[in-house]
Structure 1
Amino acid sequence: MPDTLKITNTLADETRYSIYQYVVKKKKQVNVQEIAEQFGIHPNVARLHLTKLNDSQLVSSELENNKKGGRPARVYFPAEDPIYLSFPKQENHLLLQWLLELVDSMGEIALTKAKDISYQHGRAIIDQATASTQSFECKMELLTETANAIGYIPQITENEDKKVITFSIYNCPYTNQLHKHPALVCSLHESFLKGQFDALFPANKFIQIESMQNHCNNCVYQIEVL
């Protein structure tokens, strides 16, 4: 189990935290030179930040053969297993696992009820923070805030002609459970998101166009505001 103090110290540096977010969002291998160019820092500084993230098990690394010859280069990528921090230590992720297994074992009736609960929770989060008279721009700001608050990194773009919102999730907060119960987890997550969008935009078309279940880099939803 990673040392909690070591993890918090590692992420306390603003640049290092930004690098960590970049690696998670990119979801592909990065190298020292890419990080140096992306953040405008010297390669030695980039290497130091990546090494500290690797030592804290926030990212993983491996040596990759240099196609041009020479010494192998180290590449970095998001850690496969999530790290849980709580004070004092709690095991909420185990409770989540048990509940998912329970729903999965009970079949369609339990799934339908679970989807309704997640949908209503998504609506409630928005209803507590917004009014239907808010502008489109204010609603988009609120959506971004609520997305970040539950642990994933969204990217929202708007097509002003048709008011089409593309909502990309790069860092699924349920990755660990996604390997064990992919269909169930995605159904509940999608219901939660649908609840948020229905609360913000009562008339909309909500579809998923990419999914991590289909080996995509991220989940992408498209919402047309009617």
Structure 2
Amino acid sequence: MAPAYSAISSYSRVQILHLLQERPSRTIVDLTEATGLHANTVREHLHRLIESGYVVPEAEHRTTRGRPRMLYTAATGPDAPSSPVARRRVREAAERGDLMRRVMPWTETGLPEAAQHQLDALVEDLQDAGFEPTVDQDALTVDLTPCEHARAQAAHRGVLCAVHIGIMQGVLTEAGGPLEVEGLLPTCDPVQCHVQLTMA
């Protein structure tokens, strides 16, 4: 089964996001040269990433005359800029999570409210990306097995994992709380993916 259609279902978008995670404030020209994609294709991919809250555009601050260039930065990772789309998605995920826990009080955990809201946002974001996450709230692990992204793009597993971890950390940071991504748990199976979280 191929990964569900999402902002990161296309490897070209993953590649662009990886480039922006490695170096922020890049232009379309930078990304075109780095990927070999046509500028219009890069624009379309950036538009999709911005709509999903993974990239933040900002007009260049110029001290000379001329039209400022648009600079693009990944909204992933602990020091990333905040995306208005990501803020809205985090808020709505927390509201849905709170409603579910009121209706089904047995789903309540012993985690602090801020950490629970982080998990609400993380699970929804992962589901939207085509994953079926299983969260162990005691061990603070997220099981994403099987990773259909890794299966479909086996040659690019390192880039995929880096981008997915960056996105997860970005969601946790945007939600605001004590949870952070510690890293991937080692495995010899390329489609197994277990992410360890930690309380900051």
TM-score by length of 2: 0.43
Which of these two proteins has the greater Rg computed from alpha carbons?
A: 1
* Higher RCO, Cα 8 Å, sep 6+: 2
